[in-house]
Every structure is written in structure tokens, then in C-alpha cells.
Structure 1
Amino acid sequence: MNADNWRDRPVCVAGLGVSGRAAARALADRGARVTLVDARDDADARAQAEPLREHGVEVRLGDGDTLPPGTDLVVVSPGWRPDAPLPGAAAAAGVEIYGEVELAWRLRPAEGAAPWLALTGTNGKTTAVRMLASILRAAGHRTLAVGNVGTPIVEAAADPSYDVLAVELSSFQLHWSSSLDPLAAAVLNVAPDHIDWHGSLEAYAADKGRIFGPGTFAVANAADPVTLRLAEGASRRAAFTLAIPAPGEVGVVEDLLVDRAFTADPVREAAELASLSDVRPFAPHNVANALAAAALARAYGVPPEAVREGLRAFTPDPHRIAHVATVDGVDYVDDSKATNPHAAQASLAAYEKVVWIAGGLLKGAEVDDLVRSCAGRLRGAVLLGADRGKIAEALARHAPDVPVVDVAETETGAMDTVVTQASRLARPGDTVLLAPAGASFDMFAGYGARGDAFAAAVHRLAGRAAG
């Protein structure tokens, strides 16, 4: 689309969040008649609305459910459920619905638009996309990690100063997308998550698969049959594996990350990309993230040496298998970002003997497979949060000899109780691991606040031990 397509077009933007505000500004700049609606009508909402009104956007606060008369396009922010009243009304009226990512794709410049290297997955998205951006920068490309992170994608996609964009996409964003066609894209993994939003695992997986457009070079996880199935229709595809790679794969040979997908002769040639020691923090699932990022970069033409340089330059985000402290010979590790069973399983697999801190909101996910897979690693478990009972029941079924401590507290000091109880179960050489397998909003503002509370409690424990 060019700018003329938007002039005087009546568009409703749903949501006053960061992406909604960015979408409203971008559309207004292109001459659209924009009405932004939001259910909030508090002091913060009014403060956020005022600059938009000055930008020519009509803002309606206190009613996020009513479709403005005459609207012929609705732009929904991430997380808006398909069965919410506003998109439901739009669908019933035959009005088009875009997500912010679909809008960003259509707002790209008609010429010279930066190609997208995109990725999605149940877990590892943010780490992998930041690794990808670091690799692209090491190769000398002007790039930015966008989508589910950083700068609103609507702004970045329209900016001609970038050579290429590293794009992280959630299942929510992909649900509302229909015409995406990234240059290359990867699905890292697919496991039960957000089933309450999508309705079924099949629908969730199908939305993940929307990342592969008709011209996209598809990258799948060789160990994940769902990702392989999603990539089947692509005319060009590769896979990543933690095993020795076959032709058409990137993988691991001894202590090296190796490419047998993007060399001139993948049957006879392999390219060394990096060493396992270049991947930080080191854990099997993080090596998989690095391989996926490397595959996308190689699909764009990045040389092997830039993969190594980019991985070495990468700085991990907080709350992702982050070592907090060692107290009395026990390591305390914060993986608060493990907000679903699949992520927790990957985290637990990185340690030999674990006192597991788990609980929160399971979002409809089951934990039996998780507990069954990690039972042999567990020294004990300390459970907190709304759905801790479901984890306790799974532990009773599949790990009946593992001692379990139930912490019913929900106030500020609950994490101190959790850490103290975990320390009593742990032995020197063990790891106390916060890998909750659930979301944090039952007790905390977010997974970051949960991880911060854990780290603070660990430091207080260390202070008492030193005293």
C-alpha cells in the first residue's frame, strides 16, 4: 500500500497501549481518519490521549467495545481476543481487522523496505531475536530487534534507515496477520501455552504457522514435529538441531556450532559458526536459540565469522537462567521467564540436581509431562501461587518420593519463605531453580518482578549465612 490508500479512510484503533498509540500516529500521518477507543478513562489514559488528539486522532475513552459508525478497518493491539466485543462486532459487520504486525507490514515503503527475519515459538523468542540482531550488527548491518520487544514495529517498518529487521512475533500478533511474507522465518518450538486464548493447541500452532509466507525461507526445529509440519509447505527450508547436522541443517559437532544448510555444497561442505562456549548463558535450549538465530542470519547471507562475533557480543536479558548467588555450596538460579511448562522443562534439563520453585498461573496448560520428565532431577519442590495445587498433584503422581513444601502466602514476604524452605531442602552442589512453569500475575506485576523478588530473597539469605 502507498500513502494514498489511507487518505480519509475511517480506521478504528483498539487500545491505548504503546502499539496502539504508534499505529494511530502512523495512520494519522498518512491521512486516515483515526478513532482510537479504550475502556480506560483514568488520569493515565487521559494523559496518553492528549498528544494523540493534538496529532489529529479522535480518542474515545471509557468504551472499548463499541465499533465507531462508518469504520472500514479495525486495528487491534496484541492480546485482543477474537471473541472480544469490538473485533466480534467488526467481524459481524464485515469490517477488516488487522493486528499491529499486519499493519506494519502494509505500511512498509513501496521501495527499499528492509526485509524481515522473523521468529516465533512458545519459548526462547526474545533471546533468539536479540541474538539475531547482535549477529546482524556484527556483520555490519543496520538493524533493530522489534515486534514483541523494543521499538513499536509500526515505527521501525516504516523507517528507511534499517537494512534488515529482526522481528519477534507472538501467537497473538500472528493471529491477526494475513499477508506477512518475511525473507526468512523460524518457529523455535510449539508447546501448550495460551490455550485459554486460542481455544486449542491446534489453533495455537496454526497461528504460529502464519509466520511462513509464500516466499519465506522456513526454519524449523528438527526435534519438534509440530514446527517441521508447519514448515512443510515452504519451497525453501532448513532445520536446526542439537545433534550432528545432516545436509540442510545447522547443528552441533563436538563443541562447535556447524552449518550444513547454507554452504555452497551442503552435502560435502560444512561451515564452522561458533563454539558452545560462545553461547551465554549456556544451556541446551539456549544453544538451540543460537542455532535458530544463526540460521536466519545465514539465510540473509551473513558470513560465518559474524555469527561467532555476534554471539560473543550478545548480552542476555534478565530472568533467563541467571545465576543469582551461591550460598553454602548451593547455586540459586532465576529463570522467572519460564512461564509455561515447556520453558520450565528446558530449564530443569540444564541442571543435575534441583530444588524446584514453581507455581503461578498455568493458563490451561498441563504439567504431568513436565513433572514426569524431570522427576529424577528433583531434590525437592517448593510451590507457590494460584495453581500450585495442580503441580503438587502431578508431583504426587509422578514423583511421590520428592519432598514438597506448599507456600500459601501471597503477601510481599512470600518469596523469603519460599527461598528459606528451598535452602532447607538443598544440599551442596544442588541448584535452587526458580522456573515457575506459570505466569506471575496472580502475585506479581510480571515475571521480572517475580525474579527480582527471588533474587532479593536469595541475597537476604546469603547475608544471614555470612553473618
Structure 2
Amino acid sequence: MRALVHGLAITGASTVRALQRHGHEVVVTDDSIDDEKRALAAGLGVELSSPPTDGLGEWIAGFDLFSPAPGVPEGHPLVVAALDAGVPVESEIEIAYRWEQQRAAGPRPILAITGTDGKTSTTELTVAILRAAGLHTAALGNTDVPLLDAIDDDAYDAFVVECTSFRLAFTTTFRADAAVWLNLAPDHLNWHASMDTYEAAKAKLFAQQRADDVAIGFVDDPVVMRHLAAAPSKQRTFGTTGADYHVDGDRLVGPAGPIVDASVMKRSLPHDRTNALAASALVLETGLATTDDIATALAGFVTPEHRLEPIVEDDGIAWYNDSKATTPHAAATAIRAFDSLVLIAGGSRKGVSLAPMAAEPQRLRAVVAIGEAAPDVHDAFDTAVDAAVEVVDAASMPEAIATAHHLARPGDAVVLSPGCASFDWYRNYTERGTVFKQLVHDHLAAHAARTTETDRDETDAGADPMTEDLT
């Protein structure tokens, strides 16, 4: 079989290696070729080239399979040409799933998580619960370990797959024994042609299930609930109230009764509880873990970095890094976690409205707008109807931190929750969050030094000369 892989990075390289292991002839292309990618291709034993500019349809028809990397949008000329030519277009999770179903010892359980926000935290928590139950597993898919790398390892007992719309869009059979859909909000409209195709990609996670699988949906999201009602599998809901898996006082509760007291959680914000309910539903509905395993995992679970991550508290002001909040929906979730905050928001535009960030303006002391989306931040809060919010521009992250510090009062939080991608100033959200944390520490140290020097100068200016002589 002759396969084409387009886009050579972590997932693309994994796909090349896996196809080679399974005896495929692999051709690799990329839209942007540099020395790093050439070296990677050489290590894989393949040539790297750009796709042809002429005769694309005839050229791609010579392949039996086309696997685009996650960053290759659904409207890319290669995708369009492959679909027109009848060449199967499959993401790496589709290829991995198909091979896993053919495993001689039988397929292992797959748990899958999708949603606009909260996927990584819920995925990592699910992994922690399964490990507490004694199972060998890992966070796969939209992580540093593609699913294709895991399925050839017999040591795995189960797979927990973080499913982005990029991966789900190019699936036809991928399914999970239990699948949770956390939420849906506008995002990735620079990848998808429209919200309709974004939603349709997510919906495949439920639609491709079987009758003995379990679909789990967030009760407060009408789009998720509409697709849950149409799922061919067993249906369960989660949410704070009115769901199969819900919160009762300080307890997380499921259909079979109490699961765990939320007091065991290291952090128990509203979205932490709903994420815990989603993960609990995944493992309990499949019988892969018990409530004791859930309690053990929750007691030791630390939310992944860059997700409302506490940095420091100084002079009554708490600083948080929520750089992973790359959508307005995620930023709105962060805002709801605080009674009073100074928000640092903005970044690279993704073609979506930032209005959800202004849904609860009464919580905001002020907003510091950054990056190319700063005008959009102003627009979002200029239309806030419940309360006026001061919005101040900052031309750099150090300026944003200094401005936020000036605006904050004791009892406030200062939160970097951008609601936007990072690509205007940084390579990714990880770099943005890491830089932000270091700059916060640098700023507070410099501020403390200036304050100490000012106090010393004031003391010296008012000192008794005779006292000074005696010391």
C-alpha cells in the first residue's frame, strides 16, 4: 500500500514510522520545509518534498491512503484533491483504531474526550484514575504521545485519547467504549470552513459508537445534548445539577450513589468538579475503576500547567497563569472562578467573537488588552451591558503585568486568561505561560526592591542626625 503523509512534526513523524512498521510505502510532503524537517525526514529514511503545483488530482490519485497532520486544515488543496479522487483521508487516530481492532489478542478499551475546552485536564484526570486502579495507560492523541505510538505496545491495558476536531474530522470508524463531549463554543474557524463543520467533526465521537458503548454529554450545553440524544449508544449526562453525574452539596454523585467528597480535591473550582464528574463517568460506566480509585486519584491530582495555575500571592494579590485558555469560552470559565480580578486578555486572532469574555463584567476590576486582538478585547467589553469595565492596552507582556499590578487591589486576582491564540507574540501557549510566570516573579521582585529602597530613603530623610551618629 502506498501512503502520503503531509506535515512533518510530532504526529506526522509518528504516522510515518507506524505506516513503515506495517509495511507501507510512504511519501512525505510539507508546505514549509526547513533544515529541521529535512533532518527529521532523513532520520525516518524518507525524502521530503513540497506537493506538486500542477496535476495535483492525478498525482494524489496514485496513493491508497492520505494522512494529513493535525495542522492541515480541511480546506487544504491536498485534502480537497484526495476527497475528489476518492483517496481515503484518515487522521492518525483513525489509522490506529483500525489496526487496534485487528489486534490478535483483541482490542483494548478506549476512552475518548472531546470538547472546545477542558479536554487536557479531563484526559489527564482520567489517566490518573485508571493508574490508581492499577492499569497501564497514558494520555494519547492530542498529546506528546500519538495513539499510533501506543497501540503497538502490548503493555498498555487501555487508551485515553484526547480527540481534537482536527483528528475527528478525518475519521470514519474511530469509536470509543466510552466517550465524553465536554462543551462546544466557537473555535478553530481558521481550520474549519464553518461552525457547522467544526460541530460535525466533534459529533463523530458519538455518532460512530455502537449500542454497547457509552456516550456522556454535558447537560448544560444544548448542542452537546442534541447530539447525545441521537447517539446510538447508552447515554449519560454530567453537570453540576440535573444530570446523571452531578454535585450534591460537597459530594460528587453518580447514578449508583456518592462517588467522592469534593474536599479531597487539591483544587475544587466549578469546572474542576464538572471535569471530575466527566472523568468519573468514563471509568465507572466502563467498569475500569472504582469510587475508591477516583478518590485516590483526585486527592493527588494537580491540574496541568498553564490552566488556572497559581503563581504567587503578593500583598494580598493572587497571580494566575491560564495561558491555555485560547478561546473566549475558556477565558469566561476562568473569570467565573473569581469574585474580583484584573484580566489580561488578547493575542492572536482566530476569527471568533470575544463577547463571551464579557458575560460577567461585575467580576472584573479591569482588563489589560494585549496583542493583535487588543481592539477585539475593547469591542467585547465596550458592549458589556451590566457594568462598565476599564480596558487598558499594553504593548508587551512586561507592560501588561505592570499595568495589571497597578490596577489590582488586595483581594483581587490577576489572571492571564487570553481567550486567544499565542502566535502573535509566542510560538505557543506553553511559551506564553512560561514567560508570563517568570516575568511576574521578576516584576514583583523589582517592585519589592523599589519599595524597600523608597522606604529606606524616606527613613534616612527623616532621621535624627544624633541617632545616626550613635549607630
TM-score by length of 2: 0.89
2:429 pairs with 409, 432, 447, which one?
A: 447
Aligned partner of 2:384 in structure 1 is: 398
> Equivalents in 1 of 2:230, 2:317: separation in Å?
48
Consecutive unaligned residues of structure 2, counting only runs of 5 or more, are 450-471
CA RMSD, 1 decimal: 1.7
Does the Cα contact within 8 Å between 1:79 and 1:173 map onto a contact in 2? Answer: no
Question: 1:316-355 residue pairs with structure 2 within 5 A?
Answer: 316-355=303-342
Question: 1:83-232 residue pairs with structure 2 within 5 A?
Answer: 83-108=75-100, 109-212=103-206, 213-215=208-210, 216-232=213-229
> Equivalents in 1 of 2:344, 2:40: separation in Å?
38
Does the Cα contact within 8 Å between 2:397 and 2:436 map onto a contact in 1? Answer: yes
Does the Cα contact within 8 Å between 1:114 and 1:160 map onto a contact in 2? Answer: no
Does the Cα contact within 8 Å between 1:113 and 1:160 map onto a contact in 2? Answer: no
Counterpart secondary structure, 1:97: coil
**Higher Rg of the two aligned structures:** 2
Superposed displacement of residue 68, structure 1: 5.0
CA deviations 1:355-391 (Å, max 9, x no partner) are 11100123111122331x2211111111001111011
Aligned partner of 2:31 in structure 1 is: 39
> Equivalents in 2 of 1:343, 1:280: separation in Å?
20
Letter in 1 for 2:2: P
Aligned partner of 2:301 in structure 1 is: 314
Does the Cα contact within 8 Å between 2:340 and 2:413 map onto a contact in 1? Answer: yes
Name the CA shift for 1:274/1:93 in 2 (closer, same or farther; >3 Å).
same
> Equivalents in 1 of 2:323, 2:11: separation in Å?
25
CA deviations 1:220-252 (Å, max 9, x no partner) are 001111111111123301111112x55xx1111
Counterpart secondary structure, 2:342: strand
Letter in 1 for 2:194: S
> Equivalents in 2 of 1:381, 1:223: separation in Å?
28
> Equivalents in 2 of 1:25, 1:323: separation in Å?
39
Does the Cα contact within 8 Å between 1:131 and 1:314 map onto a contact in 2? Answer: yes
1:23 equivalent to 2:15? Answer yes
Superposed displacement of residue 59, structure 1: 2.3
Name the CA shift for 1:332/1:29 in 2 (closer, same or farther; >3 Å).
same
Identical-pair percentage: 36
CA deviations 1:6-43 (Å, max 9, x no partner) are xxx11111121121111112112222221122234322
In the comparison of the two structures, how many residue pairs are matched? 437
Bigger shift: 439-448 or 196-205? 196-205
Counterpart secondary structure, 1:96: coil
Consecutive unaligned residues of structure 1, counting only runs of 5 or more, are 1-8, 264-269
Question: 1:219-298 residue pairs with structure 2 within 5 A?
Answer: 219-234=216-231, 235-243=233-241, 246=243, 249-260=244-255, 263=256, 270=257, 272-298=258-284
Aligned partner of 1:59 in structure 2 is: 47
Does the Cα contact within 8 Å between 1:332 and 1:432 map onto a contact in 2? Answer: yes
Aligned partner of 2:5 in structure 1 is: 13
> Equivalents in 2 of 1:339, 1:19: separation in Å?
21
TM-score by length of 1: 0.90
Does the Cα contact within 8 Å between 1:113 and 1:157 map onto a contact in 2? Answer: no
Does the Cα contact within 8 Å between 1:196 and 1:363 map onto a contact in 2? Answer: yes
> Equivalents in 2 of 1:278, 1:204: separation in Å?
36
1:420 equivalent to 2:402? Answer yes
Does the Cα contact within 8 Å between 1:241 and 1:252 map onto a contact in 2? Answer: yes
> Equivalents in 1 of 2:23, 2:446: separation in Å?
63
> Equivalents in 1 of 2:267, 2:348: separation in Å?
26
> Equivalents in 2 of 1:64, 1:190: separation in Å?
37
Letter in 1 for 2:326: T
Bigger shift: 283-292 or 106-115? 106-115
Superposed displacement of residue 313, structure 1: 2.5
Counterpart secondary structure, 1:449: helix
